[in-house]
Amino acid sequence: MTSAFTTRRGFVAGSTLACSLAALPAFARSGAARLADDSPTLWYDQPAGPWIEALPLGSGRLGTMVFGRPAQERLQFNIDTLYGGGPYIQDNPKFHDALPQVRALINEERWKEANDLVSEALMGKPIKQMPFSGAGDLLLDFPGVKAAARYRRSLDLDSAIATTTFIDGSGRHRREAFCSVPDQVTVIRLEIEGDGTFDLDLGYRHPDYQPYGGFGDTQYDAHGVVFVGAPWDHRESLFAEKRPAPLVVRADGSDALLIEGRNVQAFGIPGQLRYALRVQAVGDGRIEAVGDRLQVRGARRLTLVVAGETSYVNWQDTSGDPVAAVRQRTAAAARKPFAKLRDDHLKAHRALFRRLHIDLGGQAANARTTDARIKDVPRQPDAALAAMYVQYARYLLLSSSRPGSQPANLQGVWNEVLHTPWEGKYTININTEMNYWPAGPANLSECVEPLLKLVEDLAVTGVRTARDSYGARGWVAHHNTDLWRATAPLDGPLWGMWPMGGAWLCTTLWQHYQYNPSPALLRRLLPLFKGASLFFVDTLVEDPKGRGLVTSPSMSPENNHHTDIALCAGPAMDRQILRDLFDAALAAQAQLGEDDPAFTAAVRTARARLPADRIGAQGQFQEWLEDWDSSATDQRHRHVSHLYAVYPSEQVNVRDTPALAAAARVTLNARGDESTGWATAWRLALWTRLGDGERAYKILQGLLGPARTYPNMFDAHPPFQIDGNFGGAAAILEMIVQSWGGEVHLLAALPKAWPDGRLHGVRAHGGLELDVDWQAGRLTRVRLRGPAKANVALRYLGQRITTKLDERGHARMSAADFPAPA
């Protein structure tokens, strides 16, 4: 991390202060050390240098990164719909006619010919999708700040407020920032205590353009990714000639600045979106909008409200008016007193955040800075940091995925460049699904609504791909999609020829229903499930060796079974997802009392003919129909796709399928514990579901350490991908409470490192909510809440315990109600 007084521009450094610290009031002389308490807080004793040290705020639609720099604050913005391009059709017109030949080549194992034909005739045009783009920076220059002491910056997860405090010669500065869901603005409050005042010059800077592929030429240090030749935070001069100029940056009244811009074109698709940012100032100093700057002089208290919007209406319509939207939001927010803005924000945030509490002990570690704790994880285990990792993931999810917003993408809603690594889109062969793994157990089911809306869109656009490319009914989506809901295969045959993305999203929504059963939700889900199922009823083909019905062409994401060949028929993951999809469709139909005999018969027949999972010659869980695992080109591949059946599914488990569970352990041992951030999180979840708390804990230490967690606690793929945060949090919760096989499993994978703790507000299947307490590794108390008079099956130490909720839907159990350890 950079020195406390060193930044890339505009920060006037100083090692001594113009005033004597001894002369300052008592509050200013107090240290910055944080006392241990129950409020999960990230905190630091120096400003952010690179972007991966800044602190994230979000309202679902709007994302803001706060750097906490005294002399020149940087606030970096994102708008959830600011992607490149515009409405487009990606489907390859050659697909339909080439499909039978591709299938024949796969059957004959003529791999290179099949690969070449898929590349030419089946891949989408363009072969890439549209990138999620940054919306630029507001740079806040404070000309009078020459030095700073007693510096502290923090992000309190319970309040969702980022705070920066420091002292200079004029007094004690306090700056607060939050993203308000009720007002849909970012609010920045600037105050000074003492007799001094501050001046401010505020301007806008367009984001850098990072060309696609640039992130591939990387080297890694203890904090993650560094671009060769230039670190992440020192790139303002790179690619400057490629920055598309905003349409206008101008005064918008006497106290506001308006920025209007356009999105980027990408891969031949012209930019068709307009976007706007507006910042309005309210305070006691002299405020004046001059040209492309806001100037404030002699202020003691100042509030800035910032709104951002694009012209995106939906995946077909870009006719919105972003300027009108940002004017309305900022003007409305500026009329409210700061205290009211803050209170409304706190109420909305805490209504979701305070549903769950987790305490794993070790609270004394909270007195240390967050970056120091992350750096020391391999040498100094930190139970409180693991608990905060859960709460941070919950914070990130409710900040990047709210009703009315887009779903959380590969970066949630935070990205500083115009062309994000991997386009920042929705990778639906694992990453998007992983983003929502914690939503149910972490008691944030409202955050799934944007994902449900995305799937409802894909069930429309995917009809075209199913019909025109496959000649099938229903709908399909492959391994990626974007703001424009493209559904064709992309990237190339080594990654994109996988037709299961929409199906996996459906099984993710079925899990959502398990945690939140309601007829209204089920009525929305059933058409999605039926459409996805009909596609496979029409497209499954006979395996030439008589093993049943298989998908073809497909692949086991994103693994090669022979050199440079991923194409295959009927990989294990496809068969597993289809079992869950077909079961969900039939169960939803039955629960709603709908009668569709033809659909029911077709789905039951197809499901019965899916090949069973297999154990290979090495005792491993077989990834393909053929036993190719030992000859696969990457024995430690990041994906563990064929273990979907273990987690997030429950088809394979230690209770019902011990032989397959043992084979999964063989596979996991061969794959290794260390991988990319999200892949490490998946390994953590798999070992947890298999009941091995000590192995899971070992992997968790690797995830929490500096190799896979940046100083601001963002997950390091590297570079940043948010899915590791979400997958890791879901796995930590699973170490304590699991929900599968009709039972709630308590302390199923609790490691010895967490002998005492409590987890309150965790949810389980059937609409249950639990408070779980334990001491010395043994349950001491469990409280349950759920449907009135419901029968609940628990499992603890291998024994099944049943209880019934009372007429209020409550039950309490103590240590005496559970078996003692052997």
Burial of residue 396 (number of CB atoms within 10 Å: 0-12, 13-18, 19+): buried
- Pair 557, 479: CB distance under 8 Å: yes
pLDDT digits (tens, 9 = 90+) for 51-82: 999 999 999 999 999 999 999 999 999 999 99
HEC readout, 417-428: ECCCHHHHCEEC
Q: How far apart (Å, rounded) are the C-alpha atoms in residues 109 and 106?
A: 5
CA angle centred on 631, ends 625 and 634, rounded to 5°: 105
The whole-number pLDDT of residue 23 equals 31
pLDDT digits (tens, 9 = 90+) for 631-656: 777 788 999 999 999 999 999 999 99
Least confident of 245-249, 667-671, 715-719, 754-758: 245-249
768: β partners = 764
The whole-number pLDDT of residue 632 equals 75
- DSSP single-letter state for residue 51: G
Q: How far apart (Å, rounded) are the C-alpha atoms in residues 417 and 233?
A: 11
Who contacts 189 (Cβ-Cβ below 8 Å, separation ≥6)? 174, 175, 176, 177, 301, 302, 303, 304, 338, 342
Q: How far apart (Å, rounded) are the C-alpha atoms in residues 74 and 291?
A: 20
256: β partners = 280
| pLDDT higher than threshold 70 for residue 237 | no
Who contacts 241 (Cβ-Cβ below 8 Å, separation ≥6)? none
pLDDT digits (tens, 9 = 90+) for 133-144: 999 999 999 998
Count of other CB atoms within 10 angstroms of residue 101? 13
| pLDDT higher than threshold 80 for residue 699 | yes
Who contacts 355 (Cβ-Cβ below 8 Å, separation ≥6)? 443, 444, 761
Q: Once rounded to an integer, what is the mean pLDDT over residues 739-765?
A: 98
- Mean per-residue pLDDT of the chain: 91
pLDDT digits (tens, 9 = 90+) for 561-620: 999 999 999 999 999 999 999 999 999 999 999 999 999 999 999 999 999 999 999 999
621: β partners = 615
Per-residue tokens: 708:
């896979």
- Cα 491 from chain centre: 22
Strands 791-796 vs 743-746: parallel, antiparallel or unpaired: parallel
CA angle centred on 47, ends 134 and 170, rounded to 5°: 115
pLDDT grade for 11, boundaries at 50, 70 and 90: very low
Count of other CB atoms within 10 angstroms of residue 94? 15
The whole-number pLDDT of residue 211 equals 41
The whole-number pLDDT of residue 210 equals 53
pLDDT grade for 6, boundaries at 50, 70 and 90: very low
Count of other CB atoms within 10 angstroms of residue 288? 14
| pLDDT higher than threshold 70 for residue 226 | no
pLDDT grade for 233, boundaries at 50, 70 and 90: very low
Place of tokens 């002299």: 286
The whole-number pLDDT of residue 257 equals 98
The whole-number pLDDT of residue 194 equals 87
pLDDT digits (tens, 9 = 90+) for 322-346: 999 999 999 999 999 999 999 999 9
Name the phi and psi angles at 191, rounded to 5: -140, 155
Q: Once rounded to an integer, what is the mean pLDDT over residues 188-200?
A: 95
Which of 8, 49, 438 shows the shortest CA–CA distance to 236?
A: 8
Least confident of 162-166, 415-419, 529-533: 415-419
Least confident of 141-150, 267-276, 343-352: 141-150
Rounded to whole angstroms, the maximal C-alpha distance in the chain is: 87
| pLDDT higher than threshold 80 for residue 38 | no
Who contacts 582 (Cβ-Cβ below 8 Å, separation ≥6)? 533, 603, 604, 606, 607
Q: Once rounded to an integer, what is the mean pLDDT over residues 679-689?
A: 98
pLDDT grade for 236, boundaries at 50, 70 and 90: very low
Q: Once rounded to an integer, what is the mean pLDDT over residues 379-386?
A: 94
| pLDDT higher than threshold 50 for residue 420 | yes
| pLDDT higher than threshold 60 for residue 287 | yes
358: β partners = 759
- DSSP single-letter state for residue 804: E
What would the DSSP string read from start to end of 245-259? PPSEEEE-STTEEEE
| pLDDT higher than threshold 80 for residue 222 | no
What would the DSSP string read from start to end of 566-610? -EESS-HHHHHHHHHHHHHHHHHHHHTT---HHHHHHHHHHHHTS
Q: How far apart (Å, rounded) are the C-alpha atoms in residues 465 and 129?
A: 15
Q: How far apart (Å, rounded) are the C-alpha atoms in residues 206 and 212?
A: 18
SS3 state at 462:
helix
Per-residue tokens: 170:
């004029």
Count of other CB atoms within 10 angstroms of residue 598? 7
What is the rounded (10 degree) CA torsion for 264, 266, 272, 276? -20
